[in-house]
A and B are shown apart, each in its own frame.
Chain A
Amino acid sequence: MKYCYRICLLLLLGLSSQHPGAQGLVSTEKQKPATPTAPVITDRAGNTLGLYGGMTSIRGLAGYEPGVLLITDGGDMIGATLSGHIALLERLYFTEPDCRGRRFFHPQLTGATLSYPFPGSIGQSPHSGELLQIEKYSAMQTVSLKSMFSLSNNSADCINTELKLKAWPLLPVTQQQAKQAAHIDGSPIGVMAELPAKKREQRRAKKQQQAPQDMRTTVDQAECSPACLVKDLGNGVCDVDCYLATCNYDDGDCDSLDQEVILELQQSRCAPGCELVEIGDSFCDTACNNSQCSFDGGDCSDLD
Chain B
Amino acid sequence: MDNYISATRKLLLLLFFISFSHMSAAVCVQANLAGIWYLNGFSGDTLESSFLETDFCKIKINASGSILGNASSCKARVPEGVFTVNLTGGNLNLNAGCRITGRINYCDPELQQCGFAIRIDQAQLDRGKTVMSISGFDSTDTEAVVHFVGIKR
Which chain A residues have a beta carbon within 8 Å of chain B's beta carbons? Answer: 3, 180-183, 190-191, 193, 195, 203-204, 206-208, 210-221, 223, 226-229, 231-232, 235, 237-239, 241, 273, 275, 277-278, 281-283, 285-287
Contact = CB atoms under 8 A, between A and B. Distances in A.
Contacts of A206: 140-141
Contacts of A277: 36, 153
A52 B151 CA distance: 46
B147 interface: no
Closest 9 pairs (CB-CB, A-B): A219-B69, A220-B89, A210-B140, A212-B115, A277-B153, A283-B58, A211-B115, A232-B64, A237-B63
A227 B71 contact: yes
A281 B79 contact: no
B7 interface: no
Contact of A211 (B60, B80, B88, B140): B140
A229 B153 CA distance: 21
Contacts, number: 116
Contact of B60 (A3, A193, A195, A227): A227
B70 A239 contact: no
A278 B36 contact: yes
Given A182-B79, A206-B141, A277-B36, A238 B63 contact: yes
A220 B67 CA distance: 10
Given A227-B62, A229-B68, A241-B62, A218 B88 contact: yes
A181 B111 contact: no
B93 to A, nearest CB: 13
A221 B88 CA distance: 8
A221 B69 contact: yes
B111 A207 contact: yes
Interface of B: 30-31, 36, 38, 48, 50-52, 56, 58, 60, 62-64, 66, 68-71, 73, 75, 78-80, 86, 88-90, 105, 107-108, 110-111, 113-116, 138, 140-141, 153
B79 A223 contact: no
A264 B153 CA distance: 17
Nearest to A284: B73
Contact of B62 (A215, A220, A229, A283): A229
Contacts of A235: 64
A2 to B, nearest CB: 10
A287 B36 CA distance: 14
Given A183-B79, A208-B111, A237-B31, A287 B52 contact: no
A204 B111 contact: yes
19 contacts: A182-B79, A191-B52, A193-B78, A195-B48, A212-B115, A216-B115, A219-B70, A220-B69, A220-B89, A220-B90, A227-B60, A227-B62, A232-B64, A237-B63, A238-B63, A239-B62, A239-B63, A239-B64, A286-B71
A180 B64 contact: no
A215 B111 contact: no
Contacts of B78: 193
